[in-house]
Structure 1
Amino acid sequence: MTRTLVVVGHGMAGHRLAEEMLKDPAQERWRIVVLGEEPRPAYDRVALSSLLGGRTADQLGLAAPGFLGDPRLELRLGTPVTGADRRARTVSCADGSRVGYDALVLATGSRPFVPPVPGHDLPGCFVYRTVEDVEAIRAAAVPGRPAVVVGGGLLGLEAVGGLRRLGMRTHVVELAPWLMSQQIDAGGGRVLARLIGRLGVRVHCGRTLRTVEPGPDGRVRGVALDDGTALDTPLVVFSAGVRPRDDLAAPLGLARGERGGFLVDEHCRTADERVWAIGECAAVAGRCVGLAAPGYRMAESVARRLLHGAGPALTGADTSARLKLLGVDVAGFGDAHARSEGALEFIRDDHGAGSYAKVVLAADGRTLLGGVLAGDARAYPALRALLGRELPMAPERLLTEAQR
């Protein structure tokens, strides 16, 4: 008997789940209905800034040839889900339709966080989340004029790079003491700020936005920071993190994580055995992770469980990240902040070369737990592959060999 799997959301995680289901011979037992809110099929959200460098939205698409026309798949775009009923096992859509399910996977993603400061909604303020957001930013950009990006994490720095490609003079405002504070340490952040500063990007760390100021025409004229700094700008991009979209938790009667997200176990299953959550909206062991790689692992695990009744448990999210921005290479992986008990740090800070490298070792002095690279991240693939393993040579030599 054919059962119905409903996937709410056609972002990167929801798409990977559908792909994994369709490529498995056991899938014949399932009919897949994907309800996507956006007007286009899933695309590579990580590569959004490439739209500002000449790529098209179609080039970012994730669907392989034949995916959209697969008779086992029903993809409904522009169809937000507004409610759900666990007893009836149905979801309600904005167009008034209802869809029944035997299994429900929530892949609703997250929404951009916009600090509720005065003026945050003025014309000239944007978020950086969808193709439409980026197209609106491109239309509003004025070469030679200043722009302000609020948020110095991965996505914020991608926005900085995109605005510079559009010819704008960019400021980045970050609450944390250094850029990319979730992925790299203070030493790496210092090098990153220095290198992008040489490219003309003005960095304001340890600062918050106080207000967005309107001009006579009602559009953005500038921003004021908490230290009194005033920055003139006609364009503000908010990229200060995301919040999980867990609105369906209430109608489904599902628990949320402490910081939001659908609370799920190590198999991405909620308290209801028919309901799962994957991607940025899933609070695995109470924690949401806003990166693509963990979402893919969740999708693959759930697909195997739906198809075969068993799949690997998620023992920890891979938060490794690498960013190459305007020729500046930076990466963080594993326990980059040396938070493990007894962790040891080996640091090589080459001011002359403008590079910084750190490896974090276990208390035994041999097992690699993580690291940070800034200015020269050629060693990243080799080091990441060694995570959790004993180093084959001394840290200094390993960094030298990997960067050749």
Structure 2
Amino acid sequence: MTRVLVVVGHGMAGNRLVEEVRSGDRPGRWRIVVVAEEPRPAYDRVCLTSYLDGAAAADLTLATPALLTDPLVDLRLSTRVTSVDRAARTVTCADGTVVGYDALVLATGSRPFVPPVPGRDLPGCFTYRTIEDLDALRAAAAPGEPGVVIGGGLLGLEAAHALRLLGMRPHVVEMAPHLMPLQVDEGGGRVLARLVGELGVSVHCGRGVASLDEGPDGRVRGVTLSDGTAVPARAVVFAAGVRPRDELAESARLERAERGGILVDQHCRTADERIWAVGECAAVLGRCHGLAAPGYRMAEAVARQLLGSPSAAFPGADMSAKLKLLGVDVAGFGDIHARTEGAMEFVREDRTAGTYGKLVLAPDCRTLLGGVLAGDTSGYAVLRSLLGRELTAPAELLLAGARTSAA
């Protein structure tokens, strides 16, 4: 007998779930109804900035033609789910449609966090989440004029790159003492700031935003920082993180984590055995993960459960990252902040070359616990493979990129 799987949301994690179920369900035991709020099928948000660098929206599409024409997949776009009735096993949509389910997966993602500062609703202020956001930013861009990005993490630097592509002069404001505080340490953040500064990006760290200021035309004209500094701005982009879209938990009477997110166990299952959550809306054992890779792993685990492997679990998130931001290479892995008791740090910085490297070692000074690389990440693959293991070469050689010695 064919059962109905309802997936709420068709972002990157939701799409991966549907793909995994369909590829493993050769008998066709599941009919999948995907209810998606956005007007287009799933696309690659990780590569969103490429849309401003010549890529078409179609180039970012993740949903394959086979999936979009699959008779066992009913994709309903521009449709928002407003409530979940667990007793009746139905979801209700804003247009009044009611869809019954045998299994329900919530993949509602997250929304951009907009700090509650005066002026945040002024014309000329944007978020950085969807293709529609980028269309609006492109329409408002003024080449040669300054633009301010609020947030100096991964997303904020992507937004700064977007402003550069649009011909604007970007400023980045970050409350933490350095850029990318989740991925690199202070030294790596300092080198990153210097390198992006050489590319024309002005960096303001250790300061928040006091207000967004209105110009005589009723649009935003600048940003006043917490220390009183006034930064002119023709456009302001909020890229200060995201918050999980967990509002459906209320109507379904499902528990949320202390910091938000639909609370699920290691199998991504809620307290209701018929309901799962995956991606950025899911708080696995109380913790949300705001990257694509953990969302994929969640989706794959739930798909295996739906296909008959009830013990399949989310294997956890590897937060290691090797990135190129504004043309600058940066990487972080393991215990980047040396928070392990007794950890030792070995740092090598070459200011002339614009490179920085740090290894975090266990108290025995032989076991690698983590590391940070900025400006040159050529040694990342070898170092990442040594995580939790004894070093195979002196730390200074590893940081100098002596990959042959490390091997």
Bin of the TM-score, shorter chain as denominator length: over 0.9
For 2:28, the equivalent position in structure 1 comes to 28
| CA drift at 1:316 | 3.1
Partner of residue 325, structure 1: 325
CA distance in 1, matches of 2:149, 2:30: 44
Native 8 Å contact 2:157 2:326 kept in 1: no
- Give a deviation string over 1:236-261, Cα, whole Å, max 9, x none: 00001100000001111111111000
Q: Give 1:362's aligned residue.
A: 362
Task: Decide which moves more: 159-168 or 310-319.
Answer: 310-319
Change (3 A) 1:311 1:57: farther
Distance 1:397 1:175 in 2: 35
Q: Which residue of 2 aligns with 1:217?
A: 217
What displacement does 1:398 show? Answer: 2.6
Whole-angstrom distance in 1 between the partners of 2:321 and 2:27:
33
Tell me the residue number matched to 2:66.
66
The answer as to 2:210 corresponding to 1:204 is no
Distance 1:313 1:368 in 2: 27
Q: TM-score, with normalisation over the residues of structure 2?
A: 0.96
Which consecutive residues of structure 2, in runs of 5 or more, have no partner in the other structure? none
CA distance change for structure 1 residues 388 and 21 in 2, over 3 Å: closer, same or farther?
farther
Paired amino acid for 2:98: R
With 390-399 and 59-68 compared, the bigger mean Cα shift is at 390-399
Tell me how far apart the structure 1 counterparts of residues 102 and 391 of structure 2 sit (CA, whole Å): 48
CA distance in 1, matches of 2:73, 2:392: 48
Over the aligned positions, Cα root-mean-square deviation in angstroms equals 1.6
Deviation at 1:2, TM superposition (A): 1.2
Deviations 1:123-164, CA, capped at 9 Å, x for gaps: 000000000001111111111000000000001100001111
In the aligned structure 2, how far is the partner of 1:100 from the partner of 1:204?
A: 51
Which stretch of structure 1 is more off in the superposition, 380-389 or 95-104?
380-389
SS in 2 for 1:45: coil
State the shift of 1:392 in Å: 2.8
- Residue 291 of structure 2: aligned partner: 291
Q: How does 1:185-200 map to 2 (within 5 A)?
A: 185-200=185-200
**TM-score (structure 1 length as normaliser):** 0.96
Q: Percent of counterpart pairs with the same letter?
A: 68
SS in 1 for 2:247: coil
Matches within 5 A, 1:237-386: 237-386=237-386
- For residues 380 and 108 of structure 1, do their structure 2 counterparts lie closer, same or farther at Cα, with a shift above 3 Å needed? same
Letter in structure 2 aligned against 1:383: L
1:19 maps to what in 2?
19
Q: The residue matched to 1:14 in structure 2 has which SS?
A: helix
Q: What letter corresponds to residue 108 of structure 2 in structure 1?
A: T
Q: Secondary structure at the match of 2:392?
A: coil
Mapping 1:64-143, distance limit 5 Å: 64-143=64-143
* Matched residue SS, 1:46: coil
- CA shift in 2, pair 1:199/1:175, >3 Å: same
* Preserved CA contact (<8 Å) 1:147 1:168: yes
Distance, in Å, in 2 between the alignment partners of 1:245 and 1:165 is 30
Q: Which SS does the other structure have where 1:67 is aligned?
A: helix
Residue 263 of structure 1 deviates from its aligned partner by 0.5
- On the 8 A contact 2:355/2:376 being kept in 1, the answer is yes
The Cα of 1:27 is off from its aligned counterpart by 6.1
Query: CA–CA distance in 2 between the matches of 1:330 and 1:164?
Result: 19
**Amino acid across the alignment from 2:83:** G
Residue equivalent to 1:151 = 151
Contact 2:34/2:74 (CA < 8 Å) preserved in 1? yes
Q: Which moved more, 1:317-326 or 1:14-23?
A: 317-326
Q: Secondary structure of the equivalent of 1:336?
A: coil
**1:250-298: per-residue Cα shift (whole Å, max 9, x none)?**
1111111110000111111111111111111111111111100110110
> What is the SS of the residue equivalent to 2:7?
strand
Question: Are 1:401 and 2:402 an aligned pair?
Answer: yes
Cα separation, 2, equivalents of 1:214 and 1:163:
20
Aligned partners of 2:81 and 2:91 also within 8 Å:
yes
CA 1:357/1:218 → structure 2, altered by over 3 Å: closer, same or farther? same
Counterpart Cα distance in 2 of 1:343 and 1:315: 26
Q: How far off is 1:377 after superposition?
A: 1.3
User: Offset of 1:201 from its aligned partner?
Assistant: 0.8
Distance 1:185 1:311 in 2: 37
Unaligned runs of 5+ in 1: none
What whole-Å deviation, never above 9, does each CA across 1:35-89 have from its counterpart, x for those lacking one? 1110000000011111111111110011223111111111111111111100000
* Residue pair 1:26, 1:307 contacting (<8 A) in 2 also: no
Q: Distance in 2 between matches of 1:311 and 1:158?
A: 38
Give the 3-state SS of the residue equivalent to 1:133 in structure 2: helix
Residue 251 of structure 1 aligns to a residue whose secondary structure is: helix
Quickly say closer, same or farther: Cα 1:215–1:403, change in 2 above 3 A: farther
Q: Given the superposition, is the C-alpha separation of residues 191 and 267 from structure 1 closer, same or farther in structure 2, using an over 3 Å criterion? A: same
Query: Structure 1's 226 and 272: CA in aligned 2 closer, same or farther, altered over 3 A?
Result: same
